[in-house]
Amino acid sequence: MMLVSQLILIPVFAVVIWGYLYFTGKCKNRHFSKIYDTMVICLAITLSLLIANYVYSLNYDEYGKIWKSVFAVLSSVHAFPLTMLAGLLIKKKLYQPA
């Protein structure tokens, strides 16, 4: 059920990835910039799934069964954009615009 709730967020994640790639702009070293962008996107997806899996494994029996998925999705929705934002800020410091 946790992975089904993650599938619902694919359009949201796609919009965040598009915004990340759109607002980073051009860099002097395109090859390393593409590698960095790919690493940030993979890290954001991995962290999002790991955090959602951790939150889903917590004991929420007193609240009802549906809340496990809801809390997992909410944690994933917060982890993904924050990771992308951190990647954007680090990229602006590491790579100078062209």
Residue 96 to residue 82: CA distance in whole angstroms: 22
* Residue 54 pLDDT: 93
Supply the pTM of this predicted model: 0.84
Domain parsing of the chain, residue ranges: 2-21+30-94
Predicted confidence (pLDDT) at residue 19 exceeds the cutoff of 70: yes
How much is the pLDDT for 96?
A: 64
Measure the CA–CA gap between 45 and 25, rounded to whole angstroms. Answer: 22
Amino acid (1-letter code) at residue 74: L
User: Do 77 and 9 meet the contact criterion of CB atoms below 8 Å apart?
Assistant: yes
